[in-house]
Amino acid sequence: MGNKKRNLERRGDERRSFEAPRTIDVSDQQAMRFWSQRLGVPQEEIAEAVREVGPNSTAVALKLEAPQEERTAPPSPPLR
């Protein structure tokens, strides 16, 4: 029996995934350290971006890639 098959038997049929999670849990310190390192910004900026755009990691990354002056939400259009 090969090593690969033995490893699968030990873990069951669970496959290991090295994909980043699709959402950011700001209450999880380990996740915040991961995203801070991955995105290259302080945890506080990530938490602020999550408050503004939600926990979707792609939306947060896009928000943080915007120039500093564009990181704030645009003003809401006037109601008619």
What does the alpha-carbon distance between residue 33 and residue 28 come to, in Å, rounded to a whole number? 9
Q: What percent of the chain has pLDDT over 70?
A: 60
Per-residue pLDDT of 7-46, as tens digits, reads 545 555 556 556 667 899 999 999 999 999 999 999 999 9
Q: What is the dihedral of CA 46, 49, 53, 54, to 10 degrees?
A: 40
Q: How confident is the model at residue 79 (pLDDT cuts 50, 70, 90)?
A: confident
Tell me the mean pLDDT in the region 73-80.
Answer: 63
